[in-house]
Amino acid sequence: MKKIINNPENVVQEMLEGMVAAYPQYVRKLDGFDVIVRANAPVKGKVALVSGGGSGHEPSHAGFVGKGMLDAGVAGAVFTSPTPDQVFEAIKAVDGGAGVLLIIKNYTGDVMNFEMAGEMAEAEGIKVASVLVNDDVAVEDSLYTTGRRGIAGTVFVHKIAGAKAEAGGTLEDVKAVAEKVIKNTRSMGMALTPCIVPAAGKPTFTLAEDEMEIGMGIHGEPGTKRTHIMKADELVDHLMDKIINDIPYKSGDEVAVMINGLGATPLMEQFIMNRRVSQILKEKGISVYKTFVGEFMTSIEMAGASITLLKLDDELKQLLDAQADTPALRQL
């Protein structure tokens, strides 16, 4: 395991310390908890947004704490949902009296832990609502299963719901727009290499030199299939086919695009992917309103990437364009 770390047991704690040391103007850490909140939390009268999950997805989620996005990011152990008391502390620390929206990625663990935290907060009289992000089209959707995972599309929820809250929306408003984003967001990813959970010390799986995994989960869970390594354009065609046909996105639609690197894949390759994405959308008559390329929801040092599309309307466009000032995403 080649990592720049000290003790695998302390990675989350030390990472959060290093983050707070880097961005005191944006964030602070709650004493005794792996929770990052805005430096000026709670913001009186504003609906507060809390997200989180296992660590290893940096900059998600704490990197998006700041003006126009989240109020708190809760950091579990690497790839393990945080516990309810951590989430509960986050809720208490950021509630500014207008209620708290929990943005939960749809994993059994996240759902249960955040739910329990919500119950604890409500028992103390805090108004809590929650939304479940489930943008990953790699996973079959069905009433009889857990449904789809939440992956990189979650960042669009943070951005747009955050802008709504900043603009003075009520908890109901903010929840409604978050749900609109979720309804219109689809993603899918792939991996070229596995990643190593520091405490495990070895990769979750192995891929041969000529193999890649399609539909990879962001926790290094196996994907939907393993194939020979494809050229960038062929690969993007495959992912886009799944994504576009899901909603479906149609000619005349306007979308936001996110190319999300999973960790080790350089910007060079992400841009090569985006080139093909923009070609495909053009061919289909779908226009690109705004594009985000970079690392938003990573899987430690996994090589690979995901593509996300968000179908926009006027409200979503305006909120997507709104100012944001966080360590990992800024917009003037």
Ligand X SMILES: Nc1ncnc2c1ncn2[C@@H]1O[C@H](COP(=O)(O)OP(=O)(O)O)[C@@H](O)[C@H]1O
Question: CB of 54 within 8 A of CB of 87?
Answer: no
Question: Helix axis angle, 171-183 relative to 314-321, nearest 10°?
Answer: 110
CB of 272 to Mg ion, least distance (A): 21
**83: Cα within 13 Å, side-chain hemisphere:** 5
The answer to whether 84 contacts other proteins (rule: CB under 8 A) is yes
- The nearer residue to Mg ion, 108 or 142, going by C-beta atoms, is 108
- The nearer residue to other proteins, 67 or 149, going by C-beta atoms, is 149
Rounded Cα gap, residues 85 and 82, in angstroms? 8
- The nearer residue to other proteins, 220 or 304, going by C-beta atoms, is 220
Binding mask 63-102 for its own copies (x = CB under 8 A): x---------------------------------------
Rounded Cα gap, residues 320 and 331, in angstroms? 9
The answer to whether 81 contacts ligand X (rule: CB under 6 A) is yes
DSSP E strand boundaries for 2-140 = 27-29, 35-38, 48-55, 72-78, 100-105, 128-133
Rounded Cα gap, residues 189 and 108, in angstroms? 20
263 binds, among its own copies, ligand X, other proteins, none (CB under 5 to 8 A by kind): its own copies
Q: Which residues of 160-172 are buried (b: 16+ CB within 10 A; e: fewer)?
A: bbbbbbbeebebe
The answer to whether 82 contacts other proteins (rule: CB under 8 A) is yes
CB of 175 to its own copies, least distance (A): 27
Phi, psi of 234 (to 5 degrees): -65, -45
Neighbours of 38 (CB within 10 A): 22
Q: Enter the tokens of residue 195.
A: 């990643």
Binding mask 76-105 for Mg ion (x = CB under 5 A): ---xx-------------------------
Of these, 5, 22, 199, 232, which contacts other proteins (CB under 8 A)? 199
Binders of other proteins in range 128-167 (CB under 8 A): 136, 138-140, 144-146, 149
Rounded Cα gap, residues 141 and 259, in angstroms? 23
- Which residues are identified as catalytic? 57, 219
Query: One-letter amino acid identity for 73?
Result: G
Window contacting other proteins (CB under 8 A); options: 39-47, 75-83, 248-256, 285-293: 75-83
DSSP E strand boundaries for the chain = 27-29, 35-38, 48-55, 72-78, 100-105, 128-133, 185-191, 211-214, 225-228, 254-261, 287-294, 304-311, 324-325, 330-331
The answer to whether 274 contacts its own copies (rule: CB under 8 A) is yes
Window contacting other proteins (CB under 8 A); options: 58-66, 105-113, 180-188, 240-248: 105-113
Residues in contact with ligand X by the rule CB under 6 A: 80-81, 108-109
Residues in contact with its own copies by the rule CB under 8 A: 2-6, 11, 14-19, 21-23, 55-56, 58-59, 63, 192-193, 209, 212, 229, 231-233, 235, 257, 259, 263-278, 288, 291-293, 295, 298, 300-301, 303-305, 323, 325, 327, 330-332
Residues in contact with Mg ion by the rule CB under 5 A: 79-80
